Structure 1
């Protein structure tokens, strides 16, 4: 009995000890977590007085100007189409050569055309000689008629004098009536002869006996001009200034009229063609000109005028067509080559940026802490491109605002902070103190 009582007493004592330990642990835990506890007050004091570093949001070069490859094409292309047929006797230009408008590219056998030209020249000469002789004959006829008129007028004058003398004689009884009548008739005949000669001269002047010869001369001259133009067609010339493309003429070959044998692409000015993605389209849609350069000489840049920018995406290529015009007097840019077009400028690549280490990332969102007096504001931001230690900020902060760059992962919105003083000149800045962790 005594042994049983002793075991029960020991169990009671052990139970009391366990309860006492649990109670002590509970009190200790309550003391640590209770508001105003000494331990937490010390931690909060450290958080409120944490020294942090800051840096102003500033513009920085985020990247080089964005570029895209452009195709160099002629401003316009003119087909080379011969107007004569025959065998090629001389080739003066080859594919890829730069030619000037009117410059001879190749020659076609023109012997038949030269013969035709000589015949036309002879015909013109003959018709001109015939016309000249007719003109001379007409002049002689006119002079003869004028002489006849002069003679007739003189004869009429003499007849008039004789008639007047006979009238005086008749009045004086020295001439008979018959003699007077004969004199009067002679005067009338002389006057009629004058009028007849004058009528002949008038008829000669009114009659254009040269019309047929003049028509013949004009016709032969037209034939001569046609023969000259035809002969010129055997020298095939460049229709415009530019570069010869699709040109495969060979000595001894033959050509026929109205058959395309090549092209001349105009190269001053010259055109740059670019196909833009939608983001690239947004970069240039409000611009008037863009910089460009040749891959062979990137240091030498020029400006190209935007002549066309499609505002509708092509359903086939899923791109926007851009065309630029470039003055090319030195002909350095040639069709079929490539050029680089800068979609942005150096100034446009200077953007507001923050240190990448200052960014606090929470799931898909990004934040920075902005210093406002002695407190910080947690600000959501929209990020862009990244370059080395900085990243572009599209939205959320503006240039000049101070961003927390150390200890920001332990900060809370609205928390008070102490800004670390900059290190003396020539000495490294002390490392930022990390807060004590609970």
Structure 2
């Protein structure tokens, strides 16, 4: 029994020792990322397509047959210039009818206003009421002295009351007539405005000054408000839209000058940053940036590919690492840099933050690998096993 107990104790001690040796040889598993270099923007090139400042699709407001084409593709037109005419015969008749209705309503209103000023409706009623009131007051005095009968008194009062009612009715009638004729005039004015708009809509015009790039209708063709009939672009200025990565967007500022190379034309012209989107595209992570071109850009440049280089932005390249790889303690900021299969605690000096990355101004070089995640907290010089190198 004692021998059995001794054997069991030795077995347990050996198992514990073996387990300890196995634990001592196991390396901490980590995910790492390489420090990358933020390029000097003056050495970078973006590509985009030259576009007009704005483009407007012309959709007619009226329906009908096109009777005349008044502009052609390639014409430069002013705002309000006619592009094509739609049959306006019915609209013209409706406009004349509306004009006549408005003139009649205006005449009625003017007549009512004149009658109101002359008091032609109320004045006779005022005279009748004054006469009846004076007569009643005279009868009233005589009745008080017993010189007239009660019947005469009551008849005089009744005549005055009737005259008062008639005066009130005349005043109301005159006021109502003015209000009615004013409302009729307003209604006729609205009908005239509608008829005039329908008539004017038959002449389709350009809403902006620019270049006619498309006329999609022909004389004799029927159009409607569902048909895109023409297109006009504002070619007074041009732009190029480019997409900038999140690592570089903080270096780009509105007003920054750019060199725009039009390879097809063999021209390089000046431009400037005029708009920077405040948020990135959710699908690409890129920011939209607008480069407006200078006046030297020709009309023929629209639609051409352009190479964009930012001018006067030459600075030293910076090193960036994922911000979550940085740790801090009482001594400051540090990372675990991979060196000879070990995680070496390395102090770093940090610069500006760019989205998920942070600049390292001292302590790392481009290409150095830093620990991003580990299976357990690391100690300086601890052996590590790299599971994944995160691509940035």
TM-score bracket, normalised by the shorter chain, equals 0.5 to 0.7
Counterpart for residue 134 of structure 2: 154
Cα deviation, 1:388-413, whole Å, max 9, x if unaligned, reads xxxxxxx89xxxxxxxxxxxxxxxxx
Task: Work out which of the residue numbers 185, 189, 198 in structure 2 matches 1:221.
Answer: 189
- Gapped runs of 5+ residues in structure 2? 1-41, 318-364, 367-392
Task: Work out which of the residue numbers 146, 163, 168 in structure 2 matches 1:202.
Answer: 168
3-state SS in 1 of match to 2:128? helix
Q: CA deviation at 1:119?
A: 0.4
Q: CA deviation at 1:321?
A: 7.3
TM-score normalized with structure 2 length: 0.54
For 1:149 and 1:329, locate their aligned partners in 2 and report how far apart those are by CA, in whole Å: 82
CA RMSD in angstroms comes to: 4.2
In structure 2, relative to structure 1, the CA distance for the partners of 1:271 and 1:243 (3 Å cut) is same
Counterpart for residue 186 of structure 1: 152
Q: CA deviation at 1:266?
A: 4.2
In structure 2, relative to structure 1, the CA distance for the partners of 1:163 and 1:344 (3 Å cut) is closer
For 2:279 and 2:300, locate their aligned partners in 1 and report how far apart those are by CA, in whole Å: 24
Cα deviation, 1:314-373, whole Å, max 9, x if unaligned, reads 78xxx967542416678845773336444254773999xxxxxxxxxxxxxxxxxxxxxx
In structure 2, relative to structure 1, the CA distance for the partners of 1:350 and 1:188 (3 Å cut) is closer
Q: CA deviation at 1:149?
A: 1.4
Task: Work out which of the residue numbers 228, 233, 239 in structure 2 matches 1:265.
Answer: 233
Contact 2:269 2:294 in 1 (8 A): no
Task: Work out which of the residue numbers 265, 270, 273 in structure 2 matches 1:304.
Answer: 273
- Gapped runs of 5+ residues in structure 1? 1-63, 168-176, 352-394, 397-438
Counterpart for residue 48 of structure 2: 70
Contact 2:271 2:291 in 1 (8 A): no
For 1:299 and 1:199, locate their aligned partners in 2 and report how far apart those are by CA, in whole Å: 90
Contact 1:290 1:306 in 2 (8 A): no
In structure 2, relative to structure 1, the CA distance for the partners of 1:307 and 1:101 (3 Å cut) is farther
Residue correspondence of structure 1 range 20-419 to structure 2 within 5 A: 67=45, 69-133=47-111, 139-160=119-140, 162=142, 167=145, 180-182=147-149, 185-207=151-173, 209-210=176-177, 212-267=180-235, 270-274=238-242, 286-288=251-253, 289-293=256-260, 295=262, 298=267, 300-305=269-274, 307-308=276-277, 323-326=289-292, 332=298, 336-338=302-304, 340-345=306-311, 348=314
For 2:100 and 2:251, locate their aligned partners in 1 and report how far apart those are by CA, in whole Å: 68
For 1:77 and 1:191, locate their aligned partners in 2 and report how far apart those are by CA, in whole Å: 81
Count the aligned residue pairs: 270
Cα deviation, 1:165-202, whole Å, max 9, x if unaligned, reads xx3xxxxxxxxx7xx243x5434433332222112112
TM-score normalized with structure 1 length: 0.50
